[in-house]
Structure 1
């Protein structure tokens, strides 16, 4: 434990912070009270947030016209074309390497934030401090490079840890903070793993009664979610993933609990959920096959279906997803209308 205490102290020293982040990240699962230690150590949380914020500032400087301005400036001096292209190639390579190393460093800081999100003693303070807002820029970026994908995944891991608690206050915070658009964007455009974690988060939001009512409060909000689910199903028809399909099916099953959503879904279901597109996966996963059958029977039964029964979180297993964080070694990074009848929002 002495080394843990020292590493926490070292977070306040910029020259020692990188190593401290790495060591604490490695030990996070073996130190049960790491979250309270971090939270109550002067400067520790500020250091973690500084790491995250500094990466965002640096990335803005490097990616918004920096290279274009450099090219324009160097060309004005009539550099030899071959030497010039070689120089630019080296610049791009070094820039990527720097981002890769920095990405690992920030991932280690995010991993420690995940520890805070997971611990019952620090989770409420974590939300009261609005720390999830620091993660949203990583979810919102369109950069598909691997360092940014790792940042996106690790940030999703923090949110995933929060929703796994099934605490109403957590769900209410995330809904009010605007998490849904971020998840929907990743569900539509992310990598398979990012899509899976984002869909898992959406599932957990829907399983909460307030979450279901929030998403179905206006037709526009519901339609956005339903259209993205359709897009994910269409993607799965081309690039199958049993794990992602399971979470999509659970989302449909939970949406079928809402009467007006159920009516709308009856005309919005993707064809591949109604034919044999996913039969091979469903035959290997009886639970998902049963959930899909229940959802389709409930939805296609139409309005006033007497057989429709609520599919709350009590009916579904608590979908605990293990979020595997990227390896922390620098060399490890690879190349209008109201749907519910109430007021609109």
Structure 2
């Protein structure tokens, strides 16, 4: 921080005397040399993934430094045997999922492999290839676990991170693929029994699916799907009254607001929207979050058929939401 401030000082105020900077061509050569060294390091670590005796350390180093390596995702995808090695890491721990005997060390190792898959899922050049290979399906057994021990929680959270990376970029192709799988029931399971962080990521995934028109139509197509989502959201609202979480509440309200965009779902929400979202239960949580307050205001407006004043007065929200 100090060096950055010093670099921005006018030369007359600098604590150091003026000096002639390096030759631009030398600086460019140095920069290119650093890139070449990073690329060589990345290539060596990717190569070591294919060697079972070197894989564990390579997984650890690559997962820690993945942000430093430009275009690591295409390198992982296009190098011989690398994706197969990552999938082998995932499949190898299936036997310890039930009964739950996953050790912290094994959990950390497979989480490092999942972090590299998240890198592939995030990259625009490999995202579609990742989907076409149906690789997310390999992660679903981890989301189907119920153990609340730390090794399993890390495994669930890292797996959700891969799916979250897919849905973060608005892409109907991604949503359509996920809806053709069991992602909604698996996210709902995590939303019910996971830690606050894994609940938040799972709810974010459901929110992103709902925000896509294809996803909203899918969830609202049958009463069974709608009420499955609604029941879990209502349960989470109830739990937040005892253990508040602003970021989780934000995603829950956004899910409800998006559901209210569907006419049939909006009609159903008149009877099943939790009273805690209508009264003053979460006033303190939302006091410093104008965006979520606005979402909640719009949700109440939608559900009450536009009778905003009556809804606010009946629910005690008029002071929090303003005029």
Q: Tell me which interval the TM-score lies in, with the shorter structure as reference length.
A: 0.7 to 0.9
Please say if residues 253 and 291 of structure 1, whose CA atoms lie closer than 8 Å, have aligned partners that are also in contact: yes
Q: Partner of 2:159 in structure 1?
A: 155
Q: Partner of 1:72 in structure 2?
A: none
Q: Partner of 1:80 in structure 2?
A: none
Ranked by relative contact order (alpha carbons within 8 Å, sequence separation 6 or more), the top structure is 1
Separation in 2, partners of 1:100, 1:247? 30
* Residues 1:38 and 2:76 aligned together: yes
- Which runs of structure 1 show a deviation greater than 4 angstroms over 4 or more consecutive aligned residues? none
Aligned length: 269
Secondary structure of 1:13's match? coil
Q: Partner of 2:19 in structure 1?
A: none
Please say if residues 266 and 302 of structure 1, whose CA atoms lie closer than 8 Å, have aligned partners that are also in contact: no
Alignment of structure 1 residues 1-345 onto 2, 5 Å: 1-60=39-98, 63=99, 99-301=103-305
Give per-residue Cα distances to partners, 1:16-75, cap 9 Å, x unaligned: 000010111111111120000010100000000000100112444xx37xxxxxxxxxxx
Please say if residues 282 and 288 of structure 1, whose CA atoms lie closer than 8 Å, have aligned partners that are also in contact: yes
Secondary structure of 1:267's match? helix
TM-score if structure 1 supplies the norm length? Answer: 0.76
More helix by share: 2
CA RMSD in angstroms comes to 1.4
Give per-residue Cα distances to partners, 1:219-258, cap 9 Å, x unaligned: 1111111111101100111110000000001001101100
Please say if residues 216 and 259 of structure 2, whose CA atoms lie closer than 8 Å, have aligned partners that are also in contact: yes
TM-score if structure 2 supplies the norm length? Answer: 0.81
Give per-residue Cα distances to partners, 1:238-290, cap 9 Å, x unaligned: 11000000000100110110000000010001111111110001111111011
Residue segments in structure 1 that go unaligned for 5+ positions in a row: 65-94, 304-345
Question: Offset of 1:156 from its aligned partner?
Answer: 0.4
Residue segments in structure 2 that go unaligned for 5+ positions in a row: 1-38, 308-323
Separation in 2, partners of 1:31, 1:175? 32
Separation in 1, partners of 2:97, 2:239? 30
